[in-house]
């Protein structure tokens, strides 16, 4: 759960944000962060590749570029400089909110019939422009912070956890008959092991509860015939990722404006995660920190456009993992970013990790996403949840809106096309709802205060 702010001077001590642990402890903790976010990291390029019917080699290029740039983006945020990066333990990955925009640009009527990758080249031109625009707009962070009080952040975290749970459940509840039973056995072995170690474990066993659970799940999957490692047909161990893999980018006005809007939307999740992690570590999300956060997001997005990837944001899954383990060192997450870079340079390792049974990831997801949901609920409860009060209405309306989209993704298909990037994402729609409702409540409170004065 979210911890109280550590006392002054404690941040370099045990579990501090700047603490450097011994390498034998850091490596498994970093691997655990990679395992938690890996499936989410490769989902966006996989979906885009499949919807656009790209050849397998081009889809593999998207995944490789995504992993490499995710690692670079994580290093930017965790290590950072005086003007770039939040210096918080934030794992970075491609936002799923970009999928509809990317597909819309690449499959437009004027580009879909091209045989020279004009669709993807236009996408990458838009991504590069959006990254530059984000870097220029980063100083607005000082003004954006006022829209993220605890009621908005708590609601957003609860929505993130709830909206991710169906992903884990889909990974578990696949197949039929004996196959479905084996999937459930594998997933529950991961879930039960992680819970048991979180309750009874001490030291490294408690901190590594999720990855130990994944290891137990792999053993169970192997015994059940769900996981059979083999080396035949595997790609090479190392392969370079060259810049502009689909050709020189094409710059057009409307696709660039659309991508800028998507990047602005992803700021909601990035800033929300930074606020929560800032509370956990005592390095609060000040306006200057948020500006550095957004500038690093913009640079990562720019790099993504050059390398063949898409806009980047913080991954909420790993925020939950920080809460589970209690270890908040940014250097562990930086090491995880380095591991992602290695995976991006090694199609062999990337393919091997992607071959893990989905039920294993699903079992870990139940633990992680449930924790993320409860962190948000705990934050809301601390504000006093009573029927009719501000936290109650903001949270209930926003969560209902988000869950409507989770259960029926085309719930708002009757709305104009320009609203779809917001209304197709339960996280973004729910967060925007919380921000708007909080503004309306604050406006009413100011009017009432002025009337009674």
Q: Which residues pair with 314 in a beta bridge?
A: 92
Contact yes or no for 108/320 (Cβ under 8 A): no
Give me the phi and psi of 410, to 5 degrees please.
-95, 25
DSSP run (H or E) holding 314: strand 312-314
How many other C-beta atoms can be found within 10 angstroms of the C-beta atom of residue 1? Answer: 12
Q: What is the pTM (predicted TM-score) of this model? A: 0.71
Rounded CA-CA distance 228/218 in Å is: 10
Q: Is 158 domain-assigned?
A: yes
Per-residue pLDDT reduced to its tens digit, 203-246: 667 767 877 888 898 889 888 887 766 666 667 777 778 899 88
Q: Is 413 domain-assigned?
A: no
Contact yes or no for 155/434 (Cβ under 8 A): yes
Q: Is 164 domain-assigned?
A: yes
Residues of the chain with pLDDT under 50: 1-15
Q: Which two tokens stand for residue 161?
A: 């956890």
Q: Which two tokens stand for residue 38?
A: 């890996």
Q: Is 254 domain-assigned?
A: yes
DSSP run (H or E) holding 432: helix 426-452
Rounded CA-CA distance 148/230 in Å is: 48
For 39-170, list the strands marked E by DSSP: 92-94
- Please name the residues in contact with 402: beta carbons below 8 A apart, sequence gap of 6 or more: 159, 162, 163, 426, 427, 429, 430, 433
Which pLDDT belongs to residue 230?
63
Q: Which two tokens stand for residue 331?
A: 């250097």
How many other C-beta atoms can be found within 10 angstroms of the C-beta atom of residue 14? Answer: 11
Going 220 to 223 to 227 to 230, the CA torsion angle's sign is positive
Going 308 to 72 to 425 to 61, the CA torsion angle's sign is positive
Q: Is 87 domain-assigned?
A: yes
Q: Under DSSP, is residue 355 helix (H, G, I), strand (E, B) or coil?
A: coil
Which pLDDT belongs to residue 204?
66
b/e code 235-258 from CB counts within 10 Å (16+ = b): beeebebeeebbeebbebeebbeb
Residue 278: exposure state from Cβ atoms within 10 A (0-12, 13-18, ≥19): buried
Q: Which domain holds residue 211?
A: 23-228+242-371
Cα 347–348–353 angle (5° rounding)? 95
Which pLDDT belongs to residue 276?
84
Rounded CA-CA distance 246/223 in Å is: 42
Q: Is 334 domain-assigned?
A: yes
Q: Is 409 domain-assigned?
A: no
Q: Which residues pair with 93 in a beta bridge?
A: 313
Rounded CA-CA distance 77/72 in Å is: 9
Residue in the structure block whose two tokens are 């779809």: 420
| Count of domains observed in the chain | 1
Q: Which two tokens stand for residue 443?
A: 């406006």
Q: Is 118 domain-assigned?
A: yes
**DSSP 8-class letter at 8:** T
Q: Both ends of the chain: CA-CA distance in Å?
A: 40
């Amino acid at each position: 759960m979210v911890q109280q702010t550590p006392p002054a001077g404690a941040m370099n001590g045990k579990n501090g944000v700047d603490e450097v642990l011994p390498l034998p402890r850091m490596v498994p903790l970093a691997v655990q962060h990679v395992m938690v976010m890996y499936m989410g990291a490769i989902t966006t390029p996989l979906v885009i590749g499949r919807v656009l019917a790209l050849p397998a080699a081009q889809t593999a290029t998207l995944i490789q570029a995504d992993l490499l740039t995710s690692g670079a983006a994580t290093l930017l945020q965790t290590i950072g400089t005086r003007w770039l990066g939040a210096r918080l333990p934030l794992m970075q990955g491609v936002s799923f909110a970009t999928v509809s925009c990317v597909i819309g640009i690449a499959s437009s009527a004027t580009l879909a019939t091209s045989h020279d990758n004009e669709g993807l080249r236009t996408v990458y031109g838009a991504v590069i422009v959006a990254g530059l625009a984000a870097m220029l707009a980063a100083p607005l962070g000082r003004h954006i912070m006022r829209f993220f009080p605890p009621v908005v952040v708590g609601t957003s975290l609860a929505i993130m956890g709830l909206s991710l749970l169906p992903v884990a459940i889909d990974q578990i509840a696949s197949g039929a008959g004996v196959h479905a039973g084996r999937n459930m056995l594998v997933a529950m072995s991961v879930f039960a092991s992680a819970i048991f170690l979180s309750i009874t474990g001490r030291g490294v066993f408690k901190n590594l509860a999720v990855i130990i659970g994944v290891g137990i799940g792999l053993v169970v999957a192997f015994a059940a015939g769900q996981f059979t490692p083999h080396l035949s047909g595997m790609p090479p161990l190392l392969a370079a990722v060259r810049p502009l893999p689909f050709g020189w980018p094409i710059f057009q006005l409307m696709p660039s404006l659309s991508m800028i809007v998507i990047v602005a939307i992803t700021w909601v999740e990035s800033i929300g995660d930074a606020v929560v992690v800032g509370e956990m570590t005592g390095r609060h999300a000040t306006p200057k920190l948020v500006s550095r956060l957004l500038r690093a997001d913009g640079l990562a997005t720019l790099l993504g456009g050059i390398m063949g990837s898409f806009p980047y944001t913080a991954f909420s899954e790993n925020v939950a993992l920080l809460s589970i383990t209690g270890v908040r060192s940014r250097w562990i997450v930086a090491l995880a970013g380095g591991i992602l870079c290695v995976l991006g340079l090694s199609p062999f390792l990337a393919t091997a990790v992607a071959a893990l049974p989905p039920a294993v990831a699903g079992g870990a997801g139940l633990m992680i996403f449930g924790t993320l949901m409860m962190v948000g609920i705990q934050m809301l409860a601390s504000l006093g949840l009573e029927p009719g009060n501000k936290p109650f209405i903001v949270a209930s309306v926003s969560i209902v809106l988000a869950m409507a989209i989770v259960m029926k993704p085309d719930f708002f298909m009757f709305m104009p096309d320009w609203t779809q990037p917001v209304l197709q994402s339960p996280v973004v729609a729910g967060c925007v709802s919380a921000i708007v409702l909080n503004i309306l409540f604050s406006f009413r409170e100011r009017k009432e205060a002025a009337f009674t004065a």
